[in-house]
């Protein structure tokens, strides 16, 4: 049996996290090492290791993750803007093999990122 990822353990409530929003398809949690005043993670409850491994039949779920990010941003009144980031692979900064979207806000974002 495969070991659960950190995010699966959070979804199953095996380990604690600060849950900011929950939908049928996703959890939004506070990042434990924030890179901005607002740094949330939008995590699908269905485990997908990374965006490069997402399947066509997961397109609706992927869209719902973006809509969950939008709903969270609206609820938090992030009217000055926010950035959404998906890391794919170790060289991109992926540390947990479970697709998730970083939502960063509350400070000016530079370009190019990283």
* pLDDT exceeds 80 at position 114: no
* Residues of the chain above pLDDT 90, percent: 92
Q: Is residue 65 part of a domain?
A: yes
The encoded tokens of residue 12 equal: 């199953």
Instruction: Give the integer Cα–Cα distance in Å for 11 and 24.
Output: 11
Tell me the catalytic residues: 100
pTM value? 0.94
Instruction: Give the integer Cα–Cα distance in Å for 80 and 82.
Output: 7
Helix, strand, coil % (nearest 5) of the chain? 30, 20, 50
Q: Is residue 112 part of a domain?
A: no
Q: Total domain count for the chain? A: 1
Strand partners, 84: 103
- Domain holding 38: CATH number? 3.30.428.10
Print the domain residue range for 41. 6-105
* 8 neighbors 46 (Cβ within 8 angstroms): no
Q: Is residue 1 part of a domain?
A: no
The encoded tokens of residue 40 equal: 């949330």
Q: Is residue 37 part of a domain?
A: yes
Tens of pLDDT, residues 33-64: 999 999 999 999 999 999 999 999 999 999 99
Q: Is residue 110 part of a domain?
A: no
């Amino acid at each position: 049996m495969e070991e659960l990822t950190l995010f699966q353990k959070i979804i199953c409530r095996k380990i604690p996290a600060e849950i900011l929003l929950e939908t049928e398809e996703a959890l939004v949690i506070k990042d434990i090492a924030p890179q901005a005043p607002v740094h949330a993670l939008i995590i699908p409850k269905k485990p997908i290791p990374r965006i490069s491994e997402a399947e066509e039949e997961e397109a609706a779920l992927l869209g719902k993750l973006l809509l969950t990010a939008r709903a969270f941003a609206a609820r938090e009144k992030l009217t000055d803007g926010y950035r959404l980031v998906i890391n794919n692979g170790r060289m991109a900064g992926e540390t947990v093999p479970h697709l998730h979207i970083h939502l960063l806000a509350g400070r000016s974002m530079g370009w190019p990122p990283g």
